[in-house]
């Protein structure tokens, strides 16, 4: 079981920002596309993609947290930043974000207008067979590390007092090969909740026994599911019913978020959720509203 108690203090991500690298200057060297799949061992490739890498990402997820806003990153800007995390260029990735901060941008806008488009770009690189699955998954994990690296500064932007509310964040049933993108969304959601004074807890896998144990033994005001597609809505609906049945809080609220529900918010009615998160910067206030409504319903 991988249990990620987000109320615990996490070690600072080990990025080593060097002097003189404050700007974002994508490498001018030509990119060489090297096929990383071995044609000799297709079964080994399949096992690595389906089992090993998703487990590594979940196991290491715990290592993963006004002036004019920047314009949402263009496709080219997202692609350029994606190359930094694909190449494991941690120093320049940190320096790029810090350069935006030095020019007056808030981390909230940087997260939503640069990191989110970058994550979506990485997902499409894998879906379109332009980059290897392993590379994309690890690049998405590095985006999570960036969130952890700037977590303290992000929370300090609002300095909200603890609310006493708790949220459990998890992934909806889906393709395990999407785990990198789903975990980035979950960790990003956790940063916004924590900044707004919530205690956050992450359980990456609803199929794991630890998820049910956590629901039964820990008190949560809200559970939020992150979904990348609408292919397993029946399974998600089953998970939501299980949460309501097993939770120690009989008035627990359930939110859903992710591409599947942003594109079709009416799907929340089919799965039995209480609301759809379309804007992470407002999800904590939306969750508080759900808690308030459910409390008044008693």
- 231 pLDDT band, cuts 50/70/90, is confident
Report the range of poorest mean pLDDT among 75-79, 105-109, 211-215: 75-79
Q: Which of 123, 156, 189 is a domain's end point? A: 156
Sequence length of the chain is: 298
Q: How far apart are CA 107 and CA 100, in angstroms?
A: 9
Is 116 in the same domain as 217?
A: no
For 91, the domain range is: 42-156
pLDDT tens digits, 17-72: 333 343 333 333 333 332 334 334 445 445 444 444 444 444 444 433 333 344 46
Q: How far apart are CA 169 and CA 214, in angstroms?
A: 11
Residue at 15 is within a domain: no
* Pair type for strands 253-257 and 199-202: unpaired
Report the SS3 class of residue 255: strand
- Which pLDDT belongs to residue 156? 93
Is 197 in the same domain as 115?
A: no
Residue at 29 is within a domain: no
Is 127 in the same domain as 184?
A: no
pLDDT tens digits, 252-287: 999 998 888 888 889 999 999 999 988 877 778 878
Using alpha carbons, select from 221, 116, 211, 82 the residue that is nearest to residue 165. 221
Percent of the chain, pLDDT > 90?
45
Q: Which of 156, 185, 219 is a domain's end point? A: 156
User: Half-sphere exposure of residue 100, counting CA atoms within 13 Å on the CB side?
Assistant: 25
Q: What is the 3-state secondary structure (H, E, C) of the chain?
A: CCCECCCCCCCCCCCCCCCCCCCCCCCCCCCCCCCCCCCCCHHHHHHHHHHHHHHHHHHCHHHCCCCCCCCCCCHHHHHHHHHHHHCCCHHHHHHHHHHHHHCCCCHHHHHHHHHHHHHHHHHHHHHCCCCCHHHHHHHHHHHHHHHHHCHHHHHHCCCCCCCCCEEEEEECCCCHHHHHHHHHHHHHHHHHHHHCCCEEEECCCCCCHHHHHHHHHCCCCEEEEECCCCCCHHHHHHHHHHHHHHCCCCCCEEEEECHHHHHCCCHHHHHCCCEEECCHHHHHHHHHHHHHHHHHCC
Helix H or strand E encompassing 168: strand 166-171
Residue at 270 is within a domain: yes
Is 112 in the same domain as 195?
A: no
pLDDT tens digits, 94-140: 999 999 999 999 999 999 999 999 999 998 898 888 888 899 999 99
- Which pLDDT belongs to residue 26? 37
**What's the token pair of residue 121?**
């770009």
Residue at 82 is within a domain: yes
Is 46 in the same domain as 90?
A: yes
Domain count, the chain: 2
Is 152 in the same domain as 172?
A: no
Cα-based distances in Å from 23 to 17, 27, 199, 282: 12, 12, 35, 30
Q: Which of 107, 132, 156 is a domain's end point? A: 156
Is 129 in the same domain as 212?
A: no
- Please give the mean pLDDT across all residues of the chain: 78
- Which pLDDT belongs to residue 243? 95
């Amino acid at each position: 079981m991988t249990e990620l108690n987000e109320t615990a203090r996490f070690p600072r991500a080990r990025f080593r920002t060097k002097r003189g690298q404050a700007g974002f200057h994508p490498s001018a060297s030509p990119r060489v596309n090297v096929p990383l799949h071995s044609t000799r061992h297709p079964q080994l490739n399949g096992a690595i993609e389906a089992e090993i890498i998703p487990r590594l990402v979940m196991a290491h997820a715990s290592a993963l947290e006004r002036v004019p806003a920047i314009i949402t990153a263009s496709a080219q800007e997202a692609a350029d930043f994606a190359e930094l995390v694909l190449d494991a260029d941690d120093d320049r990735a940190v320096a790029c974000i810090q350069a935006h901060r030095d020019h007056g941008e808030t981390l909230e806008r940087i997260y939503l207008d640069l990191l989110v488009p970058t994550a979506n770009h990485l997902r499409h690189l894998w879906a379109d067979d332009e980059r290897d699955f392993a590379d994309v998954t690890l690049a998405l994990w590095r985006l999570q590390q960036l969130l952890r690296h700037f977590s303290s500064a992000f929370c300090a932007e609002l300095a909200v007092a603890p609310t006493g509310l708790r949220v459990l964040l998890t992934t909806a049933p889906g393709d395990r090969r999407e785990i990198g993108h789903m975990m980035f969304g979950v960790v990003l959601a956790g940063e916004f909740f924590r900044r707004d004074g919530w205690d956050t807890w992450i359980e990456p896998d609803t199929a794991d026994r630890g998820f049910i144990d956590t629901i039964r033994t820990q008190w949560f005001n809200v559970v939020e599911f992150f979904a990348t597609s609408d292919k397993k809505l029946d399974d998600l609906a089953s998970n939501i019913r299980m949460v309501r049945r097993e939770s120690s809080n009989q008035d627990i609220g359930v939110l859903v978020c992710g591409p599947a529900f942003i594109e079709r918010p009416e799907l929340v009615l089919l799965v039995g959720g209480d609301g759809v998160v379309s804007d992470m910067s407002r999800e904590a206030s939306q969750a508080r509203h759900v808690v308030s409504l459910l409390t008044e319903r008693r």
